[in-house]
């Protein structure tokens, strides 16, 4: 319940609350986006602390988390695409405003995270309780994935200080 209250309050102070059009939809997308990020990235941190402390781990728990992470990433991307459509009114705003550039930064970082996540997915599917080297490799990948994810959080935090690109109709940078 505390996590739900945190997500609801965070969405309640987001750009969505200041919108006149589509406020409820944007609030819902924001909440889904934040909850999915919290489950995925928070889960990575817990995975590092609880399941991968040494050279072995619980392969079944890691597989369950892998499935949960995949569902979270799908929800995260759906929420992110919806928010981008709501706050960025086209390609010129994407490259011509600070908000758009930060969205693109998040997309590039997400692509790196997805590549690491895919690597982890295949490592997890090959996990055997006796394969200590696979657990070490997985731990290293998860550590890097967690670091990149925290960087995405910082980029997301910077978006809150910028007006949405849809609201910046003058003084946009030209593509050239």
pLDDT score for 159: 83
> What pLDDT, in 10s, does the model give residues 96-154?
898 899 999 999 998 988 898 888 888 888 777 556 677 777 888 888 888 888 888 88
pLDDT score for 157: 83
CB-based contacts of 107: which residues, under 8 Å, 6+ apart?
none
Which secondary structure element, helix H or strand E, spans residue 158, and what is its range? helix 132-159
Query: What's the CA gap between 171 and 140, in Å, rounded?
Result: 44
Letter string b/e over residues 97-124, b meaning 16 or more CB atoms within 10 A of that residue's CB: bbbbebbebbbebbeebeebbeebeebb
Positive or negative torsion for Cα 138, 142, 144, 148: positive
pLDDT score for 53: 66
> What pLDDT, in 10s, does the model give residues 21-60?
887 888 888 889 988 988 988 888 888 887 666 655 677 8
Residue/partner pairs of 170-174 with CB below 8 Å, 24 or more apart: 172/92, 172/93, 172/96, 172/97, 173/95, 173/96, 173/97, 174/96
Q: Of 166 and 131, which is predicted with more confidence?
A: 166
pTM: 0.83
H helix intervals, 47-131: 59-87, 91-96, 98-125
DSSP state of 143: H
């Amino acid at each position: 319940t505390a996590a739900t209250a945190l997500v609801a309050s965070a969405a309640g102070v987001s750009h969505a609350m200041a919108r006149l059009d589509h406020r409820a939809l944007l609030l819902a997308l924001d909440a889904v986006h934040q909850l999915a990020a919290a489950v995925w990235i928070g889960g990575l941190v817990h995975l590092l602390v609880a399941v991968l402390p040494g050279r072995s781990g619980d392969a079944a728990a890691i597989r369950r988390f892998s499935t949960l992470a995949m569902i979270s990433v799908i929800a995260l991307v759906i929420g992110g695409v919806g928010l981008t459509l709501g706050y960025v009114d086209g390609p010129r705003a994407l490259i011509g405003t600070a908000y758009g550039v930060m969205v693109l930064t998040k997309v590039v970082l997400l692509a790196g995270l997805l590549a690491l996540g895919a690597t982890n997915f295949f490592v997890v599917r090959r996990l055997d309780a006796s394969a200590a080297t696979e657990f070490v490799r997985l731990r290293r990948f998860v550590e890097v994935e967690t670091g990149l994810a925290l960087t995405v959080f910082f980029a997301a935090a910077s978006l809150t200080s910028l007006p949405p690109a849809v609201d910046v109709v003058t003084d946009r940078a030209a593509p050239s």
